[in-house]
């Protein structure tokens, strides 16, 4: 098993699971800047959906010894995917899913909206809210907003979908992260890192790092763990609200319970997946204990289930990891953008959006034009480059899509 290409940098090589000529030059420059950091362990891995990101490249997997760069995690800490296989089949669905979409949008706030009433389910997560008091002091005034946004979708590329697999089983799937509180914590710590003296000589100050054994690192790791936990619970809360909305139309709906953690968790894990793709993990690679940041990448240990979504309405893949060591046991997080939102709005029309999402119950107004499938890379090509990273377990075809 080997990557498609190997690039040189001043310090460590970059192993790519795509062809460099298909990646914008600015993203390649970002990868070289990351690989030149003195804390890099062995190499940097670039996934098939790699593209330019803010601060650090989306689709990058970075292992560091005794250091971590908050920009290499991203500002949506803990962003990721969740999917549940239900007991429904395609024959249970009505021909017109418009009312179902409206019910989901009414149950789960999208865009900049939030819950105006804090539910008992949210209030009872005492461990999460008790730990909030131990976050960085600059976040102290955000508790109310964080509680109101638990169980909300957000905007941009976040989505909720109702999908069918090859056997016509109905799946619930969604993509979201830690909302405003995650971004706020990331911005706080990126700002702190940039001001530390050991980062003054870095080739790119956006890649400023925290060092092990320092109070700044300890505070960041504490806040990072909390935000990752919040993001996972946000997806779990939305799935519960999603199921509640569906039961108005399908009273017999049943969904699986959460599976055991880790790979090899059996069929329950296959039917219930919840995975981060912007996060930090403590792992062991190439003879060393390291901090691995995945920004736009999922963990793909041998036997571990994950989700690689396509763009709006183009289909997604449930996959099982192959444990590729050169990729730090990782895989891509989705199709990845091939053009900016501004360029997408200038390139495509609403008629294009309607044509490219035909057969999917979804918004087709100018507000989501920048999420048109044509603005993203071909998901089948991304999966093709991932052949030594994951094996495909199921392809999911969207029949309903909710966007922020």
What is the pairing mode between strands 5-7 and 58-64? unpaired
The reply to whether 159 sits in an annotated binding site is: yes
Q: Is 25 annotated as a binding residue?
A: no
277 known ligand binder: yes
CA-closest candidate to residue 377, choices 22, 81, 30: 22
Which residues sit opposite 160 in a β-bridge? 174, 402
Q: Is 307 annotated as a binding residue?
A: no
| Six token digits for residue 218 | 């300890």
310 annotated among ligand-binding-site residues: yes
Residue 284: Cβ within 10 Å count: 10
Half-sphere exposure of 321 (CA within 13 A, CB side): 27
Tell me if 76 is assigned to a ligand binding site. yes
Kindly provide the residue ranges of all beta strands, DSSP E only, lying in 177-300, ordered along the sequence. 210-211, 272-276, 278-285, 288-295, 297-299
Confirm whether residue 87 is marked as ligand binding.
Answer: no
Q: Angle between the 215-247 and 179-194 helix axes, to the nearest 10 degrees?
A: 160
Question: Is 295 annotated as ligand-binding?
Answer: no
The token duo for 260 is 């055991």
Q: Is 367 annotated as a binding residue?
A: no
333 is catalytic: yes
Residues with Cβ within 8 Å of 193's Cβ and at least 6 positions away in sequence, in order, are 69, 70, 199, 208, 209, 210, 216, 220
266 is in an annotated binding site: no
Which of the residues 41, 43, 189, 333 is marked catalytic?
333
312 is in an annotated binding site: yes
* Positions marked active-site: 333
- Where is the binding site, in residues? 76, 157-161, 175, 277-278, 309-312, 316, 333-336, 403
Binding-site residues for Mn(2+): 76, 158, 175, 277
Binding site for GMP: what residues are annotated?
157-161, 277-278, 309-312, 316, 333-336, 403
């Amino acid at each position: 098993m080997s990557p498609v290409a190997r690039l040189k940098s001043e310090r460590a090589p970059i192993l790519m699971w795509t062809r460099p000529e298909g990646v914008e030059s600015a993203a390649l420059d970002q990868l070289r800047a990351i690989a030149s950091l003195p804390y890099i362990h062995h190499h940097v891995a670039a996934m098939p959906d790699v593209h330019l990101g803010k601060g650090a490249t989306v689709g990058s997997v970075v292992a560091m010894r005794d250091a971590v760069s908050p920009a290499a995690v991203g500002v949506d800490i803990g962003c990721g995917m969740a999917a549940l296989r239900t007991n429904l089949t395609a024959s249970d669905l009505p021909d017109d899913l418009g009312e179902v979409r409206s019910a989901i949008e009414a149950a789960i706030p999208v865009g900049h909206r939030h819950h105006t009433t804090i539910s008992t389910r949210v209030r009872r997560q005492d461990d999460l809210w008790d730990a909030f008091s131990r976050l960085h002091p600059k976040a102290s005034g955000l508790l109310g907003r964080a509680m109101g946004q638990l169980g909300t979708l957000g905007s941009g590329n976040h989505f909720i979908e109702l999908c069918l697999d090859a056997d016509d089983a109905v799946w619930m799937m969604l993509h979201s992260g830690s909302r405003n509180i995650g971004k706020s914590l990331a911005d706080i710590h990126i700002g702190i890192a940039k001001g530390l003296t050991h980062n003054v000589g870095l080739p790119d100050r956006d890649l400023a790092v925290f060092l092990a054994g320092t109070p700044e690192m300890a505070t960041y790791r504490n806040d990072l763990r909390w935000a990752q936990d919040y993001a996972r619970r946000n997806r779990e809360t939305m799935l519960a609200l999603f199921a509640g909305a569906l039961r108005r139309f399908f009273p017999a709906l049943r969904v699986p319970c959460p599976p055991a953690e880790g790979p090899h968790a059996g069929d329950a894990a296959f039917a219930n997946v919840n995975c981060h793709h912007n996060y930090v993990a403590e792992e062991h690679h190439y003879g060393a204990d390291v901090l691995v940041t995945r920004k736009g990448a999922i963990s793909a240990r041998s036997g571990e289930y994950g989700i690689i979504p396509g763009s709006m309405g183009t289909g997604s893949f449930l996959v099982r990891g192959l444990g590729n060591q050169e990729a730090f046991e990782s895989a891509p997080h989705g199709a990845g953008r091939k053009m900016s939102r501004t360029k997408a709005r200038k390139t495509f029309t609403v008629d294009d959006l309607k044509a490219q999402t035909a057969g999917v119950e979804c918004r087709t107004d100018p507000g989501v034009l920048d999420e048109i499938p044509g603005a993203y890379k071909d998901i089948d090509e991304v999966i093709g480059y991932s052949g030594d990273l994951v094996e495909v377990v199921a392809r999911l075809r969207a029949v309903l899509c909710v966007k922020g």
